[in-house]
């Protein structure tokens, strides 16, 4: 059997920027002294005149991006999620979200899979923060194919967009030839009648792995990929709640305010059903290899399988 191809979605982000930059001359990319890590350096190499290094000044970068958008440019402001969503929250809220400006935020190195950089850089709160900002669209792609499509969709959407990318290389689970990205639409990757697993980002591939383990135990799990957390696909969640009667959400993020909370908002109002949230359980991460951290916090395929079995 051939080995599954793995690519970090931050790599996908850098490559997609070059693709849309080639097609659209109004694309401008900003970075906060992290072009090598966020992979915007790929764009810088192709279009040096349209890449701006703002230095270690993320708040200023968001203000510059806002100003550029008012001149007709489409700026992609890039940094680690901890800095883009955390350090620059006020500027994102007041200078981009409030006036509904056409600024795209590329936040890389999200979640505990940042690994050895430790708790200060492992942002498990960014989705919760961005969900509270009116007008903000939130996209968390699962693999290389979806990430590239997400960047293009962000460009085509007029208004602020927050895109979440990872450091760790993840399996490519989507077929590039057949894949179609629709903003605000979830994707059923595996049908099932007993339970539903709703996953986002790198956890989608692990959710599929857990579903296969559950199948061996006679549990038929539906797996849904939610790449757009805001606006979330209410229809696909309501349908799952009514048909399978129980939902497990899986995210590389705090269980407070993220995908699980977004799903609960829909289910409790429109299709009451039990929801169990799998993610970081109200704690900080720690320094260590990404794969080992995901295993320790039960966020790999084995850990997801165990949590579902324990809470059936």
**Catalytic machinery residues:** 58
| Angle, CA of 214, 215 and 221, to the nearest 5° | 75
Chain mean position to CA 97: 19
Which residues, listed in sequence order, are joined to residue 138 by a DSSP beta bridge?
162, 230
Which residues, listed in sequence order, are joined to residue 278 by a DSSP beta bridge?
250
Handedness of CA 26, 164, 200, 301 (dihedral sign): positive
Are 106 and 165 in contact by the 8 Å Cβ rule? The answer is yes
Residues 6+ apart with CB under 8 A from 57: 32
Are 204 and 143 in contact by the 8 Å Cβ rule? The answer is yes
SS3 state of residue 2 = coil
């Amino acid at each position: 059997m051939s080995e599954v191809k793995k690519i970090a979605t931050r790599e996908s982000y850098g490559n997609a920027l070059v693709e849309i930059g080639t097609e659209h001359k109004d694309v401008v990319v900003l970075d906060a002294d992290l072009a090598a890590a966020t992979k915007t350096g790929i764009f810088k190499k192709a279009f040096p005149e349209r890449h701006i290094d703002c230095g270690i000044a993320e708040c200023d970068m968001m203000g510059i991006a806002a100003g550029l958008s008012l001149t007709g440019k489409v700026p992609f402001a890039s940094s680690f999620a901890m800095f883009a969503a955390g350090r620059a929250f006020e500027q994102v809220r007041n200078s981009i979200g409030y006036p509904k400006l056409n600024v795209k935020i590329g936040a890389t190195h999200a979640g505990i899979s940042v690994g050895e950089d430790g708790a200060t850089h492992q942002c498990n709160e960014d989705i919760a923060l961005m969900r509270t900002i009116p007008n903000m669209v939130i996209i968390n792609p699962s693999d290389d194919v979806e990430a590239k499509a997400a960047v293009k969709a962000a460009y085509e959407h007029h208004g602020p967009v927050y895109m979440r990318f990872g450091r760790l290389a993840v399996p490519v689970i989507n077929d590039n030839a057949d894949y179609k990205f629709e903003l605000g639409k979830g994707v059923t990757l595996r049908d099932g009648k007993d339970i539903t697993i709703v996953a986002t980002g790198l956890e989608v591939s692990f959710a599929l792995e857990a579903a296969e383990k559950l199948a061996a135990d006679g549990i038929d799990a539906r797996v849904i990929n939610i790449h757009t957390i805001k606006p979330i696909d209410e229809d696909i969640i309501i349908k799952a709640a009514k048909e399978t009667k129980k939902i497990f959400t899986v995210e590389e993020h705090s269980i407070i305010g993220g995908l699980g909370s977004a799903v609960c908002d829909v289910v409790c109002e429109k299709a009451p059903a039990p929801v169990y949230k799998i993610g970081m359980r109200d704690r900080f991460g720690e320094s260590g290899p990404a794969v080992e951290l995901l295993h320790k916090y039960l966020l790999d395929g084995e850990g997801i399988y165990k949590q579902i079995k324990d809470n059936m």
